[in-house]
A and B are shown apart, each in its own frame.
Chain A
Amino acid sequence: MLDFSLKIGGQAGQGMQTIGYILSKIFSRGGYHIFSTQDYQSRIRGGHNSFQIRVSTNPVGAASAKIELLIALDEMSIAEHQTELTATGGIIYDAGDAASAEAQPGRFTIPLEKLALEAGGKKVYVNSVACGAALGLLEYEFSALEKLLIASFSKKPPDVLEANTKAALAGFKYAKDNYASQFATKLKPQATTPKLMINGNEAIALGALASGCNFFAAYPMTPATSIMVYLAGKQKDFDIVVEQAEDEIAALNMVLGASYAGARAMTATSGGGFALMTEALSLAGITETPAVIALVQRPGPATGLPTRTEQGDLLFALYAGHGEFQRVIFTPGSAQEAFYLTQKAFNLADKYQVPVLILSDQYLADSYRNIEPFDLSALKIDRCLASDEDFADTQAYRRHEITTLGVTTPLGASTPLGVSPRLVPGKSAHLVVTDSDEHTEDGHLTEDLDMRIKMVDKRHRKYQGLVAEIEPPLVNGAAETDLLLIGWGSTYGVITEAVHTLNEQGKNVSQLHFPQVWPFPKKAVAAIFKSAKRKVIIENNSTGQLAQLLRAETGLTVDAKILKYDGRPFTAEYILERLEL
């Protein structure tokens, strides 16, 4: 089995992202499993950023703590990351004027800048030289890089492609000729079927398009922005309008206006932006207007660590908004879950007329993995809209009609509890009236106490239907287990790996992953807990928020918590060290 990690380090603006993306794609196309993560600071130029790629013949769902190869585009990258190198690891770097420095094992000095200037006359070609050098060291096929460069620069003038190819080849040759014999790891393309190399935000955006989302409004906020950027590029081809709102308050209000008018509408933000949305979230609750909200977490409070990762907003997402109303919270742990749960989010939002949150984080948002193409065959766009034919001419339409169990509603027996028939204003002979104030069945303001109680009860009845549609918690491994490692959201992959490693060592360990935390899957969890001896929860926050929710909902407690709140994701090594087995 091959399990190889490399890291590219440098300053913001030096192009680590480009190099990382290109190399990841080459290995993905070459049939390897890849997992790539980014670590960046909140600045436009300078600072220290890195991009790490793990390449394996086995499926991987997390970065590893150790690397075999470091491509250092500046001095600081060496200082910062050389301790992560394995004993046989090496560093590619440009020694510049100090090129006469004595050769050391594992130090692969390559005149990246000189080669870039010779090939294309510009320093920016260093990226291509570095890509070439990494492949040269690994003795990979150069043609793989050539093909990607052709695709990347197809819209640029031909001399740009030519210069990049020349630069890449120069780096490739230099590394291969001078250092390949000193580096043991070699990679070569494997037989494979095409895979998608995709990150969490792209998967959410694709999921939205697959759901027929036709209105998206947001205010840019790291790490959610790339969802908006991706969708903005598809407006014409996918019949969707992407609107940059003046603030997050406006963004969610726009979404609700669009949704009321018949659109499938969505927004995406991070914690600070979501804080501004809570007023409109509550509006969605009382007006029963469907909305999908991607909340891509980053560490708070307030500005916190704007470009890092954390799972600090689970309870915030659950309790956000004034007043009491129903909602759904999905917590995808992989690109697949991000895609399919986004699709489910739109369908549930329409069916139950509630806000649905997709709780992700910077780690899931920005890390790339390669996966089988999504299966679209079973996906449906289920609008659950009523039509005028559901109402006799004489029967008045009431937007917030109280439907009760056992009574045949205009929509027939399939109407979920507490859900009223929804018509689209302007597309119906009836008027569609709704109100932020407590209202009567026909949507008009009321202060009638009985009506208030009826309306609150009606809206809460949706919970019963939502429970029946819970995305069940996932168990990897035997039900009868000595140790159950529990997580939600983006920790899915890394916990899978920790469990796998322990079972390889002959232990009996299982994983419990939550792709949905609200409504909470009480029954399923109670059953799973019965057959597990020791229970350990793993969360990327400082207080163990899922552990709190678990206890509140079921009375069940865990035996230990492994928490991490330095703004960085878990590695399997980090978890294993703390398990005290």
Chain B
Amino acid sequence: MKCNTFNGLHGRSLPLATGAKLVNPELVVIAEGGDGDMYGEGGNHFIQAARKNTNITLLAHNNQVYGLTKGQASPTSEPGFTTKVQTEGVKISMLDPLTTALSLNAGFVARSFSGDIEHLSWVIQQAIQHRGFSLVDILMPCISFNKLNTFKWYKSRIYKLEDEHWDTSNKAAAYTRAEEWGEKIPIGIFYKAERPPYEDLISALKGKPLIDREYNPQRVSKLFNEFI
């Protein structure tokens, strides 16, 4: 992708993206990272970004394992999943990004699959066009370190919400469907609702982007009276 890029810290791309978007709302801002980034290390940032509803798209590459550190459990690893660290298998419950985002009132909650380029491209497009925070959880195999959730594993379970004329405005239904994880796994846009993006609610941002405004030091002289 040819774009302006700031490759920041593990787990921290959402606050970085938030800062950039607020000072120049004219930028299209995409934050991306893996399941360890977004749901583990940066879990608090994920919560805040969903609540804040800044017009940012989050692409979370979710392969249910830590790959770069050679195969430890991630927040989305399945209970029982064994690794060289989780030698007796994962003993804690899976973090579900979709129901988490829904509970935080996120306005665009979707999942797609890296094995279906056409579907994934469509969902990403929709996410970027949505005004407000949008989550695209992208299921993808890790061919090196996840021998459980393989391409075949996903392929045999995944089905598309769009095929059943899914109503994206029903939050309760979205929540119930998002909990479906097992023999069948739904992908698609689970929930979509318009609410004003955070930046629209800030009076100081009405008008030109902050970075296009004029500043001069002499302006503070009008504040001196407060201190006299």
Contacts and interface: CB of A to CB of B under 8 A. Distances in A.
A195 B225 CA distance: 9
A130 to B, nearest CB: 23
A530 B96 CA distance: 67
B222 to A, nearest CB: 8
Nearest to A435: B7
A246 B213 CA distance: 27
Given A241-B205, A433-B5, A209 B219 contact: yes
Q: Most chain-A Cβ atoms within 10 A of its Cβ — which of B12, B15, B44?
A: B15
B204 A241 contact: yes
A304 B47 CA distance: 30
Contacts of A256: 6, 8, 16, 19
A246 B52 CA distance: 11
Interface of A: 29, 194-198, 202, 206, 209-212, 214-215, 217, 234-236, 238-241, 243, 245-247, 249-251, 253-265, 279-280, 283, 287, 343, 373-374, 376-377, 379-381, 424-427, 431-437, 443, 445
A210 B216 CA distance: 7
Interface string B121-142: 0000000000000000000000
A250 B210 contact: no
Contact of B220 (A209, A243, A246, A280): A209
Contact of A426 (B27, B204, B216): B27
Given A245-B48, A257-B19, A263-B24, 10 more contacts: A211-B217, A217-B15, A234-B223, A235-B204, A245-B15, A259-B19, A261-B24, A283-B8, A377-B218, A431-B5
B23 A436 contact: no
A425 B4 contact: yes
Interface residues of B, number: 44
A246 B5 contact: no
Interface in B22-63: 22-24, 26-27, 44-45, 47-48
A477 to B, nearest CB: 30
Interface in B190-219: 202-205, 210-211, 213, 215-219
Contacts of B24: 261-263, 426
A343 B218 CA distance: 12
Contacts of B224: 194, 196, 373-374
B221 to A, nearest CB: 6
Contact of B204 (A240, A283, A381, A443): A240
A250 B44 contact: yes
A236 B23 contact: no
B204 A239 contact: yes
Given A202-B227, A238-B219, A263-B23, A249 B12 contact: yes
Contact of B211 (A235, A255, A262): A262
Nearest to A29: B228
B33 to A, nearest CB: 12
23 contacts: A29-B228, A209-B219, A209-B223, A210-B220, A212-B215, A235-B204, A239-B213, A250-B12, A250-B15, A250-B45, A253-B12, A254-B22, A257-B17, A257-B18, A257-B19, A258-B20, A260-B16, A261-B20, A279-B12, A373-B224, A381-B216, A426-B27, A445-B7
Contact of A287 (B4, B6, B217, B223): B6
A335 to B, nearest CB: 10
B7 A434 contact: yes
Interface string B82-103: 0000000000000000000000
A254 B223 contact: no
Contacts of A198: 227
B117 interface: no
A206 B220 contact: yes
A492 to B, nearest CB: 20
Please provide the 4 A-B residue pairs with the shortest distance between their CB atoms, ordered closest to farther: A257-B19, A212-B215, A425-B4, A254-B19
Nearest to A371: B227
Contact of A376 (B3, B14, B218): B218
B152 interface: no
A251 B48 CA distance: 12
Nearest to A213: B215
B23 A253 contact: no
Given A197-B228, A239-B204, A253-B9, A215 B217 contact: no
Nearest to A260: B6
Nearest to A196: B227
Contacts of A251: 15
A426 B15 contact: no
A406 B217 CA distance: 34
Given A29-B228, A249-B12, A431 B27 contact: no
B9 A279 contact: yes
A159 to B, nearest CB: 25
B2 interface: yes
B6 A241 contact: no
B8 A426 contact: no
Given A214-B215, A376-B218, A261 B19 contact: yes
A138 B16 CA distance: 56
A13 to B, nearest CB: 25
A381 B215 contact: yes
A109 B33 CA distance: 68
B27 A215 contact: no
A283 B6 CA distance: 11
B227 to A, nearest CB: 4
Contact of B5 (A262, A373, A426, A443): A443
A376 B6 contact: no
A20 to B, nearest CB: 15
A186 B27 CA distance: 63
B19 A434 contact: no
Contacts of B205: 241
Nearest to A287: B6
B18 A254 contact: yes
A257 B8 CA distance: 9
B215 A433 contact: no
A434 B6 contact: yes
A251 B18 CA distance: 10
With most chain A CB atoms within 10 A of its CB, the pick from B2, B4, B219 is B4
B7 A260 contact: no
Given A253-B16, A257-B20, A431-B3, A197 B217 contact: no
B8 to A, nearest CB: 5
